[in-house]
Amino acid sequence: MYEKIIVPLDGSKLAECVLPYVEELARGCGTKEVILVSITENVAGYKADPDYRQAAGPFPPLEPVTKVAVAVGKKQGQAERYLARIAKQLDGKGTKLRTEVLLGNPAQEITSFAEHDGADIIVMASHGRSGLSRWAYGSIADKVFRASRLPVLMIKAPGSVPGI
């Protein structure tokens, strides 16, 4: 029934609470592939242009700055190592595993990737935020649930407080 499962992970133990459910679902459904996904948000910063020269005057020279991607390679490498470690824990369970690190807005990237890659279901944790913390931080799980055309199985993370 579910031949390809997408599992978004953010590096937290709360997100990893879905893994036993994914294993059971994959085993029970004869899943062919599980794809572990992590999203690195596009971080931008500014740096001085080293080629810029300004005529000397009474004030220190001003250097124009350009907007550049910052630490994407470092964050991507961390995400790849994290997913490889999780994949190693799940390896040998009879299902093909693949890892993908995406760049951009987490909810948009998860739904877009799942639909374009031909996934059958997205399985992810809900951190159980409600009230002000949900308003302040948003809920990626909720955004994925609302935006996706695919079924989304949300597992409530242990320790979540029932909310409104």
Does residue 60 fall inside a structural domain? no
Does residue 59 fall inside a structural domain? no
Edge-to-edge, what's the strand order for the sheet holding 4-8?
96-103, 33-40, 4-8, 121-126, 152-156
Does residue 80 fall inside a structural domain? yes
Q: What is the dihedral of CA 135, 11, 14, 131, to 10 degrees?
A: -10
Count of domains forming the chain? 1
pLDDT of 1 strictly over 80: yes
Q: How many CB atoms lie within 10 A of CB 106?
A: 20
Does residue 164 fall inside a structural domain? no
Does residue 112 fall inside a structural domain? yes
Which range marks the domain in which residue 99 is found? Answer: 4-43+67-156
Does residue 144 fall inside a structural domain? yes
> pLDDT tens digits for 50-93?
555 555 555 555 555 555 555 567 788 899 999 999 999 888 76
* Structure confidence at residue 59 (pLDDT): 57
> pLDDT tens digits for 134-150?
444 458 899 999 999 99
- The two structure tokens encoding residue 27: 């085993």
Identify the DSSP state of 122.
E
Is the overall model pTM greater than 0.95, yes or no? no
Does residue 57 fall inside a structural domain? no
The domain that contains 117 carries what CATH number?
A: 3.40.50.620
Does residue 27 fall inside a structural domain? yes
